[in-house]
Structures are given as C-alpha cells and as structure tokens.
Amino acid sequence: MAVVKADAYGHGMIPCARAAQEAGAAWIGTATPEEALAVRAAGIEGRVMCWLWTPGGPWREGIEADLDMSVSGMWALDEVVAAARVVGRAARIQLKADTGLGRNGCLPGDWPELVRSAVAAERDGLVVVTGLWSHFACADEPGHPSIAAQLERFREMVSFAEGAGVRPEVRHIANSPGTLTLPETHFDLVRPGIAMYGISPSPEIGTPEDFGLRPVMTLSASLALVKHAPGGLGVSYGHHYVTPGETTLGLVPLGYGDGIPRHASGTGPVLIGGKLRTVAGRVAMDQFVVDLGGDEPAAGDEAVLFGPGDRGEPTAEDWAQAAGTIAYEIVTRIGARVPRVYVDGGGAARE
C-alpha cells in the first residue's frame, strides 16, 4: 500500500499515487476520506483505503467510491452500516486494532463487541470486512520491546476476529521501518510512507543508501538578490545575525510560509555555487538570507536547500537536524506556494 496522505508527504498526492500504481502498488492509502475521494476523483482505480474518520464523515460517498474504510470503534461501525442501508450496497471496511500505539484503533477490551457487531453486519449484507490491521508505535527504534508486544497482540486480535468469522483479504501492520527492517511484520500487505519518498524513517535504523533508497524531493530556489554589505549589518528580523565584516548576502525567496522551519533560523544549510552556506538570522515568512562570504553569485543563481545529496547539497534529514525535527516534517510541510516539477526519465512536468 502506497501511503499518499498529506499530499504524499508534500510530494503531490495524485502524481505520486499514479507513479506508485505504475510501479506496482496494489493499494493506495490516505488518512482522511476527503483525500481518498480526491484520489478517486482524479480517476485512479484499484483499492484505496482511508483511516481517519470523524462522526458524520462522508460514509455514503466512501461506499459509492468503493473505498476501503477503516473502523476503529462502535460509533464508526454504526455510521457506516446506516450509510450502507441508504446506498443499498455493502460497505468495505477494515477493523483497526489498537495493539499498543495508544492512538486510533480499538483497544483489546472493546474488540470482541466491535468484531461481533461487524460480523453481524456482514451477515446482513451491509459490510464486507476486507481487512484487519494496526499500526506500530516504535518500529523505528530497533529492539524496542513494544514491537514484539504489539505483534503478539495483533496476532491475538486477528485470531479472535477470524475465530468469530471474519475472513480478511489483508492483515497489515508494517509502516516504513517495519517494511524495511522487520520481515516478521509483513503479513499480507505493508504500508510504507516515508520510504516511498526515498527517506529513511530514522537515522537510527540506517541511511537511505543502506536501504537502496534515494530521496525524491529536491527543493531549490533562485536567488532573489545578491548584495555587498558592510560589517556590523544586522540581518533579518531581530538582528540575530550581524555581519562579522564586509561580505556579500544572498536572498532566498522561501520562508516559513513555504514550510521552511523557523527553527532552522541560523542553522539551516543551503548549497550555493558549490559551497555550503547557513541561514543567516531569522527565517521570515517568505524569505531568508545567507552570508555568501564575499562570493558573488548572480541573482537568479540556484540555491539548493535539500535533495538526494548527489551534488553535495544537504538532505531533508540535514534540515531535520538543523531544525530539531524529523525529515517527515521537513518534506511534508513544503507549502502549496512552491511549484512541484515532476522529473521523469529526463522530462519535466509541472503540476
């Protein structure tokens, strides 16, 4: 299952869903039903699953669009069953077990009621239970005791459901770290998100190269201005950077409005003219400055914030470390104002 939620972690949901299907992904996964309906509206066929529902959610539209819809509790089962009656067609649902993430999903104590009610609704022709599934809390921490505990609980909850008459097409629990490092978690389906975009889930479990991954997203900008500056010049809001002497400054037209973390003020790395520079002073809403140390690239020259690293440019992981976050957040937050250009076999297409 190719996970394309949150605009495919910032990469663009529809082009990524298409690319994943062309590459052989049997399922597309989203968090919200709105995302899944948008995938369908773009003409994407095949199995599409979504898991983050709230009361009143578009169940009827989900049934009509042939989505596989996650159910984590009785309120959701009641709503999907009511929608199936209205549509006159069985809803495809997947029961989600909370095996120890402590987030969404049905806890073991509530599982028998949910399973038995789903089996009854299936008997009435109102739902088809297509899957049993769960999600890990700490799969990116090698050897974390919760991994084995969650797996054991998952096996118990699956076995209870199967004993009660559920015949799931798919049982699944593995996210990217599970997919990459824990074969015993693979069951019938794996749900990688971040790994699909070429990023390691955590430096602790390995680098992208360790897994044969290559980061997909490159973020670059054209310098908006290059100017000579005297020493002692306060740079950007708050004057947290003051030029140490005569120098040149470059203006990069990207800011926190585009998803550049303000926490990377004074720390974010940028490749300009073959040299690694650092954000000078505060990242503003639309722009930030780098001290070019006297170099004189032209306005319009490329500033590469991150990419696969082939040209010596920083990676999203480097930005994550500079901003005290994870690479997931760096790529996912890149905003709608930044045009995505898809490069495929040498040709580029703008979305």
Ligand X SMILES: Cc1ncc(COP(=O)(O)O)c(C=O)c1O
Report the site for ligand X in 74-133 (rule: CB under 6 A): none
| Cα–Cα distance list, 75 to 86, 141, 214 (Å) | 17, 33, 42
Residue 84 CB, nearest distance to ligand X (Å)? Answer: 23
Residue 159 CB, nearest distance to ligand X (Å)? Answer: 21
Binding residues with ligand X: total (CB under 6 A): 11
208 binds ligand X (CB under 6 A): no
3 binds ligand X (CB under 6 A): yes
Q: Which of 5, 9, 96, 256 is catalytic?
A: 5
**Amino acid identity, residue 341?**
V
Distance CA 47, CA 1 (A): 9
Task: Report the chain's terminal Cα–Cα distance, integer Å.
Answer: 23
Cβ-based nearer residue to ligand X, 191 or 282: 191
Say whether 313 sits in a helix, a strand or coil. Answer: coil
Question: Which residues lie below 8 Å from residue 248, measured CB to CB, with a gap of 6+?
Answer: 226, 227, 228, 229, 291, 292, 293, 294, 295, 296
Contact 45, 28 (CB under 8 A): no
**Stretches 19-27, 158-166, 186-194, 307-315: which one binds ligand X (CB under 6 A)?**
186-194
250 binds ligand X (CB under 6 A): no
Report the site for ligand X in 135-154 (rule: CB under 6 A): 135
Distance CA 152, CA 2 (A): 25
**Stretches 33-41, 191-199, 281-289, 337-345: which one binds ligand X (CB under 6 A)?**
191-199
**Stretches 149-157, 194-202, 287-295, 330-338: which one binds ligand X (CB under 6 A)?**
194-202
**Stretches 148-156, 190-198, 238-246, 284-292: which one binds ligand X (CB under 6 A)?**
190-198
Sign of the CA dihedral 156, 162, 165, 169? positive
Distance, CA of 176 to chain centre: 10
191 binds ligand X (CB under 6 A): yes
27 binds ligand X (CB under 6 A): no
Distance CA 271, CA 253 (A): 14
User: Whose CB is nearest to ligand X?
Assistant: 193
Give catalytic residue positions. Answer: 5, 237
Residues that bind ligand X (CB under 6 A): 3, 51, 135, 175-176, 191-195, 201
